[in-house]
C-alpha cells in the first residue's frame, strides 16, 4: 500500500520541537480528542473502527481527483518467463487459456472458502481483502469514487462468473462456467480465438476504456453522459464492473528476460489504455510474445492479494510445465458476446482527450526493473540480518550517495493482524540511518565505526517496523485527529500545516515510495508519489533481488537507472561490511 497521508519522521519531529511553541497545537489536539471521547460514549462507540476505516479509504483513494490508472494503480510482470513460458510468438491465446484456468481455480478456492488463512508466525491474519480480487470495480464520482464488490461465497449466494475480454478497443464477455463447471483451457481457447478473429478481421473499437485513465471528475461526468445517451451503455458498464476480471489481449511484444523485466513492467504500467479498464480490481494482460502482466486498482486491496494469487498460478504452471494435461473436449456453449457502447461525437472527443493526456503522462514515466543476482535472502540471513531491512538501508544509502541527503521514505507495514487491517506507515528515514549513511561516505571512517552505525540503523528500523505492524504506529491516529478536526470545524493542529511536515512525507509527499512485495517470484511497480520522487518495489529471493524503480523524466533531480546502480553498489558494500565482522 503506497498511500501514506499524515506522517512525520524523527528528524522532522526534533526540528519541529525546536522551532514552534506547541501549546496551541496541543490544545487543539486535546479538543479533538475530547470530541472523539464524547462521541465514543454515545453513537460513536460502535462505529469508531469502521469510521476510521472509511475515512482512510476516502482520503487515501476515493477522494483523489487526479487520474488513478497511472498514479494510483499498481502493475507488474508475471514471472512465468523464468521457467516454462519464455517469450514466444504464436502462443498468446493458448497460454492465456491455461493461465485463465488456473486463475479461475483460485477464484473457486475463494468462493468455496477453501483458501487457507494466512499467518504471521502463529497469528492468523485478516483475509477480508481477498474478497476484492474478483468481481470488483471502482466507479467514478464527481467528488468521490465508490467501490462496488459483487463477489459472494457459495454460502452467501450467487456470484457473477463471467469474464470480459478486451482487444483492439473492443469488449467481449462470456461465462467462465458451463453447467456448473469451470471452462477447461481448450474451451477457453475457443472463446479467446473467436474474440481474436473478430478483432483481426474487423475495425478497431471506439476505445471507451481509455476514459478510465482520465482525471476522476472528468471521467465521472463522461460516464454520466455515456449512460444518458443510451440506457444499454449502463448495462455494459455493469457487465464490466461485475465481471470476475478483465483479460487484455495486447499486441505489444515486450521480450523481457529474467534479468531485465523492464520492457514488460513498463508495458504493464503504461500500455494501451483502450484495452485496460483502469478501475477494475484485476486486469490480466496477455502480450503477443507469450508473456504476461497485470494492472490493478489499488483502492480495493493491497498488492499482497494479487501477489498471493499470481504466486499460486506460477507454482501451478511450474508443476505442470505450463501445459494442459486434461480433456481436449469442447462442450457446446454460446460464443462470446460483444459489448458495443453507443457513442457520439462528444464521447469520441472525450476518448481522444483521455488518450492524449494518458500518453503525455506515460511518456514522462521512466521505468526500470532489473534483477540483482550476486546474492539474495540466503546470504543476508547468514549474516543474521533481516533481508527487508537490508534492502531498505541499501536504498537509503543509494539515495544519499546520489542526492547528498536522505529522502523521506514510506515503507508498507502490514497490519492484517487486526480486523480489516491493511497497512500502516513505516518511516525508514531515521536519525540512525542518516548517521550511518554519513559515516559510510566518510573517507576517514573505520570499518568498525561503519559497522556500529549500521547496527544502530538496523535495530531502529526493525523496532519501528514491529511497532507499526502491531498497531503502535501513528499514521492512522494522526489521520483520525486531522479528519475529526475538519469535520467538527475545529482548528487543525499546526503540525499539519508546517512545511517540515510535508517535507517529511506527511500528506502523501514521500520522496521514496517503497514496498517489499514479498519473498516469492512475483513483483510489481508503482509511479512515484511526488514529481521529484521514486517508486520502488522489490522482491527478495534466495539468490536474487528483483527491483522496479520509477521516476518522472521531467524532474531534473531524479534518474531511476542511476539509483538502481547506486543500489547495487550499496548492496555489495553492506554485505562486505557484514561479512568482515559479526554484527
Of 74, 80, 113, 111, which Cα lies nearest the Cα of 98?
80
Phi, psi of 543 (to 5 degrees): -125, 15
Checking DSSP bridges between strand 136-139 and strand 146-149, what pairing results, if any? Answer: antiparallel
Q: Is the dihedral of CA 131, 311, 125, 74 positive or negative?
A: negative
Say how far apart CA 410 and CA 526 lie, in whole Å. Answer: 13
Helix H or strand E encompassing 194? helix 185-201
Of 357, 212, 202, 343, which Cα lies nearest the Cα of 274?
212
CB 216 within 8 A of CB 113: no
Say how far apart CA 77 and CA 262 lie, in whole Å. Answer: 9
Of 487, 531, 223, 478, which Cα lies nearest the Cα of 365?
531
Q: Quick check: helix, strand or coil at residue 451?
A: helix
Q: How many CB atoms lie within 10 A of CB 443?
A: 4
Helix H or strand E encompassing 16? helix 10-19
Cell of 52: 476510521
Say how far apart CA 254 and CA 263 lie, in whole Å. Answer: 5
Say how far apart CA 293 and CA 314 lie, in whole Å. Answer: 12
Instruction: Return the bridge partners of 250, or none.
Output: 287
Query: In sequence order, what E strands does 373-518 have?
Result: 409-414, 423-426, 512-518
Q: What is the length of the chain? A: 583
Cell of 402: 546520489
Q: How many CB atoms lie within 10 A of CB 504?
A: 25
Helix H or strand E encompassing 159? none
* Neighbour-count burial for 212-245, b at 16+ CB within 10 Å, e otherwise: bbbbbbbbbebbeebeeeeeebeebbebbbbbbb
Q: Is the dihedral of CA 178, 179, 180, 183 positive or negative?
A: negative
Checking DSSP bridges between strand 283-287 and strand 246-250, what pairing results, if any? Answer: parallel
CB 103 within 8 A of CB 313: yes
- Verify whether residue 576 is a known catalytic residue: no
Q: Quick check: helix, strand or coil at residue 329?
A: coil
**Active-site position among 102, 298, 309, 461:** 298
Contacts of 238 (CB under 8 A, 6+ apart): none
Catalytic residues: 298
Amino acid at each position: 500500500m503506497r498511500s501514506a497521508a499524515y506522517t512525520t519522521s524523527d528528524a522532522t519531529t526534533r526540528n519541529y520541537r525546536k522551532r514552534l511553541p506547541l501549546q496551541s497545537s496541543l490544545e487543539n489536539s486535546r479538543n479533538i480528542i475530547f470530541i472523539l471521547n464524547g462521541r465514543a460514549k454515545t453513537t460513536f462507540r460502535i462505529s469508531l473502527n469502521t469510521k476510521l476505516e472509511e475515512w482512510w479509504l476516502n482520503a487515501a483513494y476515493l477522494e483523489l481527483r487526479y487520474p488513478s490508472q497511472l498514479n494510483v494503480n499498481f502493475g507488474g510482470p508475471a514471472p512465468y518467463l523464468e521457467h516454462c513460458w519464455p517469450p514466444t510468438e504464436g502462443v498468446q491465446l493458448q497460454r492465456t487459456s491455461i493461465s485463465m484456468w488456473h486463475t479461475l481455480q483460485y477464484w473457486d478456492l475463494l468462493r468455496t472458502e477453501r483458501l487457507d488463512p494466512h499467518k504471521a508466525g502463529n497469528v492468523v491474519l485478516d483475509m477480508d481483502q481477498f474478497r476484492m480480487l474478483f468481481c470488483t470495480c471502482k466507479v467514478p464520482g464527481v467528488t468521490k469514487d465508490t467501490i462496488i464488490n459483487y463477489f459472494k461465497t457459495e454460502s452467501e449466494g450467487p456470484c457473477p462468473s463471467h469474464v470480459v475480454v478486451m482487444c483492439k478497443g473492443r469488449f467481449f464477455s462470456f461465462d467462465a462456467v458451463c453447467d456448473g463447471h469451470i471452462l477447461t483451457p481448450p474451451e477457453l481457447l475457443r472463446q479467446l480465438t473467436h474474440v481474436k478473429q473478430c478483432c483481426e478481421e474487423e475495425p478497431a473499437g471506439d476505445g471507451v476504456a481509455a476514459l478510465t485513465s482520465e482525471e476522476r471528475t472528468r471521467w465521472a461526468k463522461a460516464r454520466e453522459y455515456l449512460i444518458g445517451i443510451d440506457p444499454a451503455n449502463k448495462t455494459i458498464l455493469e457487465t464490466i464492473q461485475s465481471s470476475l476480471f478483465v483479460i487484455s489481449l495486447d499486441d505489444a511484444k515486450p521480450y523481457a528476460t529474467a534479468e531485465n523485466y523492464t520492457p514488460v513492467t513498463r508495458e504493464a504500467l503504461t500500455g494501451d489504455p483502450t484495452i485496460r479498464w483502469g478501475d477494475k480490481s484485476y486486469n490480466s494482460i496477455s502480450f503477443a510474445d507469450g508473456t504476461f502482466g497485470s494492472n490493478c486498482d489499488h483502492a480495493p486491496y493491497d498488492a499482497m492479494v494479487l501477489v498471493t494469487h499470481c504466486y499460486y498460478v506460477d507454482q501451478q504452471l511450474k508443476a505442470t510445465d505450463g501445459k494442459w494435461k486434461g480433456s481436449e473436449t469442447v462442450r457446446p456453449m454460446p460464443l462470446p458476446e460483444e459489448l458495443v457502447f453507443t457513442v457520439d461525437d462528444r464521447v469520441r472527443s472525450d476518448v481522444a482527450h483521455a488518450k492524449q493526456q494518458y500518453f503525455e503522462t506515460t511518456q514522462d514515466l521512466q521505468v526500470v526493473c532489473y534483477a540483482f543476482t550476486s546474492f539474495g535472502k540466503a546470504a543476508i540471513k547468514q549474516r543474521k540480518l533481516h533481508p527487508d531491512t537490508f534492502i531498505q538501508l541499501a536504498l537509503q544509502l543509494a539515495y544519499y550517495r546520489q542526492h547528498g541527503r536522505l529522502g523521506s521514505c514510506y515503507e508498507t507495514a502490514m497490519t492484517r493482524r487486526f480486523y480489516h487491517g491493511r497497512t500502516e506507515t513505516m518511516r525508514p528515514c531515521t536519525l540512525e540511518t542518516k548517521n550511518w549513511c554519513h559515516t559510510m561516505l566518510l573517507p576517514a571512517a573505520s570499518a568498525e565505526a561503519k559497522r556500529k552505525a549500521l547496527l544502530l540503523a538496523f535495530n531502529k528500523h526493525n523496532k519501528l517496523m514491529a511497532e507499526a505492524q502491531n498497531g503502535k504506529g501513528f499514521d492512522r491516529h494522526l489521520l483520525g485527529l486531522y479528519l475529526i478536526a475538519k469535520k467538527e470545524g475545529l482548528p487543525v493542529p499546526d503540525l499539519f500545516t508546517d512545511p517540515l511536515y510535508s517535507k517529511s512525507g506527511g500528506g502523501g509527499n514521500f520522496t521514496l515510495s517503497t514496498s517489499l512485495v514479498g519473498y516469492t517470484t512475483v513483483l510489481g511497480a508503482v509511479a512515484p508519489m511526488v514529481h521529484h520522487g521514486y517508486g520502488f518495489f522489490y522482491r527478495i529471493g534466495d539468490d536474487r533481488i528483483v527491483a522496479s524503480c520509477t521516476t518522472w523524466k521531467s524532474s531534473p533531480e531524479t534518474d531511476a537507472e542511476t539509483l538502481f546502480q547506486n543500489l547495487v553498489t550499496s548492496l555489495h558494500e553492506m554485505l562486505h561490511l557484514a561479512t568482515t565482522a559479526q554484527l
